[in-house]
Structures are given as structure tokens and as C-alpha cells.
Amino acid sequence: MSAPGAILTRPPVVGGGGTGMVSQLVLAVVCAGYATGAFLGWGSKELALIMGDFGLSCAALIAAVSCFLYARDEASRSESSFRPAWLLFSFSSAMAACGNGVWGWYEVVLRRDVPNTSPADLFFLCFAPPAIVGLLVLAKRPVTRAGWVCLALDSWLIGGSLLTLSWSLALARTAHEGEGEGVGHATLTLAYPLLDIVLVSMVLALHFRRSSANRTAVNTAIAALALTVLCDALFTSPLLHEHYRSGQLLDAGWFAGSLLLAYAPWAAVRMPAAPSLKPLAAPRAARPAAGRAQAPPVTRPLASSLAALTPYLAAAVCTLGILYNVIAGHRVSRMAVFTGCTVVLALVVRQGIMLLDNIALTHELAQKENHFRSLVQGSSDVIMIAAPTGVLRYVSPAAAGVYGRDAEELVGSELASLIHPEDLGRVVHEVRRFLAAPPADEPTTRIECRFKSGSGEWLNVESTVNRHQGGLILNSRDVTERVRLQAQLEHNAEHDPLTDLPNRALFTKRVRKALGGRRISDPGTAVLFIDLDGFKQVNDTIGHQAGDELLIQAARRLHESVRAGDTAARFGGDEFAALILGDGTRDRAAREHHVREIADRLRLTLSQPYRIDGNEVRVAASIGVAFAEPGVGAGELLRNADLAMYRAKKGGKNRVELYAPQMQAEVVRKTELAARLRSALSDGEFVVLHQPVVDLTTGEVSAVAAQARWRSAQGILFTPAEFLRVADESERAAELGRWLLEEAVELAAERRRAGLAAPVSVRLSARRLLDKSLPIGALEALLARHGLPSGALIIELADSDPRISFDELERRLVGLRRLGVRIALDGFGSGYAAINALRRLPIDLLKLDRGLVEGVVESARLHKITAGLLRIACDLGMQSVADGVDVPEQVLALRAMGCTHGQGMAFSGPLDEFRLRRSLLRGEYPVPGGAALSVLSGRSRPLLGSHDETPVPPT
């Protein structure tokens, strides 16, 4: 790479918002007001006593009620993990309220000094134990025995050091002075500081081990208890204890501690996060604790360092307490020596535990490192690490199998040297964009490009890219086969599988392109529709395989006859088309003469004899020509050429016909046919036949396909191809489709009530599905009215018009799926936009096109194409149905290729209701194999005389 390294809002508010700010402001104002009153002496001695005793009692009572109400609220929310802690804090505050109340009874009501030993002392002593236990509940519980031992040792290290220091400074003297006043008084005198030491120890231990849940409430509770303990320590100190009177400034600390504890449980109000238009990189504290993958927690080096130094600081405090006595010349008490020794012993034990824990962690880290190294080296993907300069620093051994190059050979080379020059600019742009994006917003990206292999071949490689120390980590895999298959699928979607010419979809796209852009004003552009006359006789006389070979030769002749910039296409059957681009000629007669010459040359070329299997076969060509005109779109131009081609066939075939406006008379004829269709629908001349869909392995009937037939006056049921084409363009199309759907659902419901539960499939075009006359609500009402359960109706999505919106079609199919309707993609392998349909539409079944099935035995080319399509269906986990399975050999071939179901004359033709029920009672058809093959071969043909008509079933 030329340039080094070239390859290479705010968070949503979860708290209470404005309400929380108001609460904090009120709390601060009340505490400041109390402190101001205490500092000024409250104006009178009596008011000072009332506020110093009953004011503190009221504040503690508020804390007790607040903690109790929050604990009850936690129980109603089924969030009871911290509920005992708040109940204990409630009890602790209640004890403080009672103690202050008794103290006020003596000073305010009885107007005398509080005795040295009174009931108030009992209540005050009961304040610390429940608070200590509550702090233990809030602490994060260790998960191992060593963790519990370390927690106990840490607590003792803190408590023991504080006890040693306090005993050395004051408690020893307090205990000595209290001995003269009795054991009870001495015990009571020592109980207050000792409990405060224990409470301080728990506060400090909890600060480094607190749970991450409801952190704001826990921190506020810790601050409240810490403020209370600090005031207790000041109260018990000899300097303040002798001169303390109720209502002084020290009471403001207790008052603020009680109100802080009252506010603590409500400090973090549960509210939903503010809505966001896009994902934001919110701080970790604002992200939910469950329900989604979370980012690693933010590390706090200072807090972690203090937690690690806590044992050593505790030992230092203990040592300072003993050194103070030595330096001051005081006698070191046995209590201080004992507690100091236990602190040192606890520190030694804790260090031993930590040493063993570190050894275990080091061993586990080594095992994990070996495990991940084996994963990287054994992975089939190539893992590469690129420095910020773009030079590869590491390449996994999989490179030998994927790229055909040793990993050592690639290490030290530039990443840019492996990438195809045409892809390099796009890759550099994507990598620069990725590195400029915030890592929290975009942790990885995906790049697909071509890499050079050891043999010099360019491989399609897909890489997942991560950041790594200013450079990149690339996890790459070879997707060459996938890209080739995707290209092949895209090619198949736009090309005829037999002749490899562009199909209707691609041809329409090119016509639309020719009518736009710089050729929009070129009147010489023309479309030729070509139909081979006599092709049906070829199929009937020498077989379909010979017909396929004739189509291949005709396609080759057509492709070789058009110019390089023109397009030859096959629409299906014996219908071909050609797009002739204009040469800028403005003269109408000249352009018509030029295009007619091309059309005549094509007609003569296609009419030359074909040599097939030693036989000379002749067919003629009828060609319709339509010229591009201002205001004529692609669809209209194709339709005009089609009309001209039909005029050429009706005019005697083997001729060229130019489109003329008078050909609109054909539209009048279609209108007449539409009128006949309308009367046929109203007179009930249409009937529904059902053709069984059979499991190719077991022969069981898995579904039935509903088909509309027109009963003629001669008693023959015709396939109304011509009339259905008219219906598709007339206002009666919706009525015909609705009639077929309603009849099929009603008959399926009647069979289900008779115990013959077989799903029914109805073929509808995409345009018919999007028709406003067939809303989702009407179909839902139809299914509910007949009681047809979920999965009993299958809609076969027929070949769609290129102008159909895939977005609208996808929404309609999703709505049908919600009703329990299954969706089948009909005509797979030759239909329009099959790849887009598979990628975007909710498809359950794939139905192979009849054109692929007809020559699957005789044509090796069709065999490969059909096998590939069936493999796609299998890979997507979909069932497949082959349409037009007419002979046993096709059954055997399709089953060998993985096709699951078949429909055709090899099993049964379309049946009336009586024969269908008899068939469903039988339950299965014989499938080829052994004796079943001969039976099936003897009955496959007589059921249907041709593809155009079916004998009338008995009534």
C-alpha cells in the first residue's frame, strides 16, 4: 500500500427526570433549614430541645416508613432480592426514632437530664445491628468459598484496624474511666463506638463490593449511614460528649442522615428509556441489565486500586495505632496487641488465598490461551492481523488451504498487494469509513473483494473486520462458489434454461432501456415477435426431445443473425423475440424497409431445414414487427409486436407483418370473448377439477391442485387458455379468480368434513393477488365461513408482471401467511425475478416449471438445470413440487434429484369431485419401482387425450 494505514447524543434518560431534581432540591432545602436553625440555636432553649429530640425522631420515623413502603412495593413487583435490606433499614430507623423519642420525653416532657443508663440507650443500641445486616444483604455475594473467606477477612481487617486505632487513642481510656461507674455503664460506653466501628467497616467493605443493581439507591443508603456513623463518632468523642446539648449543630448530621435514608430507595425511579430514532452509544449505566447483549462494563481504575490496597491500608492503620502508644510513652494495652496480631494474621491468610487464586487464574488463562490458539489454527477461515501500516503481522495456517499460499509467505506482505486492483479503492474507502466510526456504534464491518491465490487465480473472499491496536483483524472465508452460484442463479433468472437466450424479463428490461436515454428520440428501434409454425407437429411426431433440439438450433440461428448490439430472446415454447436498435434514420419508409429486410432474413434463416437425429425437419416462422413511437412504452410496444405476430399467423403463417393501428380490431374480438366469458360465469358453465399432488417416495396424496375448466356444448372440458388470457385483461378477471378461490375452499371444507383432509392449492397471478377486489379481509372471512383450518389452503404465485411492485406483493403475502395460508412459487426456474422472489417473498413451496420437467429425462442440459434448482430448494428447507410429471421415467429422475412431490399424468389427470374423493379414500398412488412401474406405465397415458382437453367425468 502506498500510504501507511490506508487499508486500515446524548444517552436516553432512565431516571426520574424533572421529578428527581425537585425531590433532591426539597431534600437539600429541608436539611439546610434544619442546619441553619441548629446553628442559630432555634431562637429558644425549649424549641431547641423539641427540634433536637422530636425533630430527629420524626426524621427517623419518616425514614422507617419510606423504607417499609419501598420494601412493600418491591414485593408487589416480584423484585424481592433487596427487600430484606430495606425492611432492616426500616427497623433500624424505627429504633432511632424510638430512642430520640425517649430522649425527648426526659428532656422536654419530664424536664430533667437523661440518666446515664436509660431505655433510650437500648433503642440506640438496636440501631446498628439491623443496619449492619442490611448492608450485608446489599453487598455482592461471593460465588466461591474463597470469596466468602476474603469478604470476612476484609471486614475484619477494616474493623480490627479501626478498633486497634480507636482503642489506642480513646477507647482504652474510656473503658478505664468507666470501670469506676460500674460494669454496665462501661459496657454501654464501649458498645456505641464498637458498633460504630462495625458499621463503618461494613460501609467501607460494601463500597468496594456493592451490587450493580439499583446502584443509585445503594450509594445513597451508604452515604446516609456513613453520615450517621460520623455523627455518632463525634458524639462519643470526649471533646463533644461533655458539652453536647440537644438542638445543637451535630443534630443536623443525624437529621440529614435520616432524610437521606428516606430518600435512598426512591433515588432511581423506574421509567422507560426515552425513544430514539437510531441506536446510540449510551453510557453503560444507562443500558438495560437484561434482554440484550451488553457492552463490557466501564472499568474504574481508581476504585479497583483502592479495593486492592484496602488490606494494606487497614494493616497500616493498625500499626499506626500501636506506634502512637509507643511514641507517646503509653503502655500498649493487651487489647491493642491482640487485635493488631489478628489483623496481621488475617492479612497473611488473605495474601495466601490471593496467591493460590492467582496461580489458579494463571493456569486457567494458559489453558484458555491454548484453547483459542487451537481454535484459530484449526479454523477453516483465514485470520489475519494487519498493522496500522497495512502490513500483515499474523496469518493463520488456514491460508494454505484457502489461498493456496503458506502463512509464513504472507506475513510481512502488504494487504493491498492481495486485493484485486478493481476492488482496492472500494475496500480502502470502506476501511477508512469503518475506522472513523465510533467503535460502540459499529464494532465490526464486512467486506467482500477478490484475493489473489497462490496459483494466480482471483478468489472471492468475504471478510469480517474488527479493530485491533490501531490496525485490523480480518476473519476471511472463500465464497467463490457462492458467488458463482449466485451469478448462475441471476443468469438463470434472466435467461431461458433451454436455449440460454434472454427471457421475457431481461428482454423487457432491454426494451425499456432502448426506449429511454439517448435513444428516446430514435424512431428506428423495433421489436420482432417470432413464432415457429408447425412446431407442435414436431413434438407430436418425433418427440419432445427433438423439439427441444430444434428450439436450440433455432435460437442459435436467431442469435447469429442479429447484430452485435441487438437482442434475441425466447419467451417460452416456440415464441422468440428480437430487439432491433435504430440507426437514427428519420424517414419512415426507409426504416420500415430496413427492418422488414432484417425480419425477412430472419424468417428465411429460421425456415431452413433442421437436421435432428438424422432427420430433416422443417418449420416456418411468423414474425410481427412493431416500431417505437413517441409516447409508446415498453409494454405497449411488446403488445403491438405480439398483435402483429398473431396477424401474421392468421394471414397464412410464414410471413412478416408490420403492426398497424387497425389491428385494434383484435381487441374488439377479445371483448366479445370477454362477454362470452361473462355469460359463462353467470350461467355456471365453469367447473372445478382437482389434480392430486403425490409424494414421489410414498405415493401418498399430499394435496390437490384446483383448476378451472369450461364445459363446452359438446360435453368436452377445455383448458380455456385463450379465454383466461382475455380474462386477465378484462374486468371479469377478478370475478373469475374469486369464483375459483371460493369454489376450491368450499369443496375442500366439504371434503374435510367427510374425513378427507387434503390441502387445496389455487393458482393466482401476482397481479390478481394485488387486485383491490380480493382484499385480505375477504379471504379471512371466506376461510372462517367454511371453517378451513390453517395450512389447508395453498396459494400458487404465478409468473408476475415485471411492473408489479415487490414491496406491495411482499406485504400481501405476509398478510396471507398470518391467516395460515401457505405460499408456493409456481413456475420456478423460468418465471420472472425468481431470485428476488426467493430473497424477499415469504415462500413455503417451490413448484418447478413444466418446461423443465418435460425434457428432464431426454435432455442432459435440462437434467443439470433441474437438479440445481432442486438443490436450492433442499438447501432452503423447502418442499418441491414438479408440474407436468407425465411418465414414470420422469418420476424416477425427479426423485433421484431430490424432488419431494409431483403432479401430472404419471399419477392422475384432473378429476371431478366424485373421482377425487375415491382417490383420496384410496390414499396413495403406485410410484415407479418394481411391479408398480409396470402398473403405472400402463395407466399413465389413457387418462388424458392431450394437454388441451379432458373427458367429461360421469355425473
Q: Which of 104-108, 204-208, 713-717, 777-781 has the highest mean pLDDT?
A: 777-781
Q: Taking CA 42 as the corner, what is the angle to CA 39 and CA 45, rounded to the nearest 5 degrees?
A: 115
Q: Taking CA 183 as the corner, what is the angle to CA 181 and CA 187, rounded to the nearest 5 degrees?
A: 105
Please name the residue that has the C-alpha cell 418449420: 619
pLDDT at 576: 95
pLDDT tens for 43-59 read: 788 888 888 888 888 98
Q: Is the pLDDT of residue 536 over 80?
A: yes
Q: Is the pLDDT of residue 327 over 70?
A: no
Q: Taking CA 321 as the corner, what is the angle to CA 317 and CA 323, rounded to the nearest 5 degrees?
A: 110
Q: Is the pLDDT of residue 754 over 60?
A: yes
Residue 4: strand, helix, or coil? coil
Please compute the mean of the pLDDT values over residues 662-673 and round it to a whole number. Answer: 69
797 Cβ contact list (under 8 Å, min separation 6): 764, 765, 766, 769, 813, 823, 824, 825, 826, 837, 841, 843
What is d(CA 206, CA 85) in angstroms, rounded to the nearest whole number? Answer: 13
Strand pairing category for 822-828 and 845-848: parallel
pLDDT tens for 870-923 read: 998 888 888 999 999 999 999 999 999 999 999 999 999 999 999 999 999 988
Please compute the mean of the pLDDT values over residues 81-102 and round it to a whole number. Answer: 84
Of 101-115, 345-359, 851-865, the least confident = 345-359
Q: Is the pLDDT of residue 306 over 80?
A: no
pLDDT at 125: 73
380 Cβ contact list (under 8 Å, min separation 6): 398, 401, 402, 477
Please compute the mean of the pLDDT values over residues 138-158 and round it to a whole number. Answer: 66
pLDDT band at 274 (very low <50, low <70, confident <90, very high): very low
Q: Is the pLDDT of residue 746 over 70?
A: yes
Percent of the chain with pLDDT over 70: 71
Label residue 691 left, alpha or beta by phi (over 0 means left) and psi (-120 to 50 means alpha): beta
pLDDT tens for 188-240 read: 454 555 555 555 555 555 555 555 556 777 778 778 877 877 787 677 665 55
Q: Is the pLDDT of residue 829 over 80?
A: no
DSSP string covering 693-720:
EEETTT-BEEEEEEEEEEE-TTSEEE--
DSSP letter, residue 291: S
- The residue among 441, 467, 464, 450 whose CA lies nearest residue 388 is 467
pLDDT tens for 579-628 read: 998 776 667 788 888 888 999 999 999 999 999 888 889 999 999 999 88
What is d(CA 412, CA 393) in angstroms, rounded to the nearest whole number? Answer: 6
What is d(CA 889, CA 393) in angstroms, rounded to the nearest whole number? Answer: 59
What is d(CA 555, CA 573) in angstroms, rounded to the nearest whole number? Answer: 12
Q: Is the pLDDT of residue 436 over 60?
A: yes
Label residue 349 left, alpha or beta by phi (over 0 means left) and psi (-120 to 50 means alpha): alpha
- Are 845 and 881 in contact by the 8 Å Cβ rule? The answer is yes
What is d(CA 915, CA 954) in angstroms, rounded to the nearest whole number? Answer: 9
- Are 619 and 532 in contact by the 8 Å Cβ rule? The answer is yes
Q: Is the pLDDT of residue 257 over 60?
A: yes
Cα 579 from chain centroid (whole Å): 44
Q: Is the pLDDT of residue 402 over 60?
A: yes
- Are 814 and 782 in contact by the 8 Å Cβ rule? The answer is no
Please compute the mean of the pLDDT values over residues 524-551 and round it to a whole number. Answer: 89
- Are 765 and 800 in contact by the 8 Å Cβ rule? The answer is yes
DSSP string covering 488-508:
HHHHHHHB-TTT--B-HHHHH
What is d(CA 855, CA 452) in angstroms, rounded to the nearest whole number? Answer: 41
Mean pLDDT of the chain: 77
What is d(CA 116, CA 118) in angstroms, rounded to the nearest whole number? Answer: 6
pLDDT at 916: 93
pLDDT tens for 563-572 read: 888 999 999 8
Strand pairing category for 701-711 and 716-718: antiparallel
pLDDT at 808: 86
pLDDT at 160: 60
Of 524-538, 623-637, 727-741, 802-816, the least confident = 727-741
Q: Is the pLDDT of residue 667 over 50?
A: yes
**How far is CA 134 from each of CA 67, 92, 170, 696, rounded to the nearest angstrom?**
12, 9, 29, 71
- The residue among 46, 105, 60 whose CA lies nearest residue 253 is 60
Q: Is the pLDDT of residue 15 over 60?
A: no
Please compute the mean of the pLDDT values over residues 143-167 and round it to a whole number. Answer: 63
Q: Is the pLDDT of residue 130 over 90?
A: no
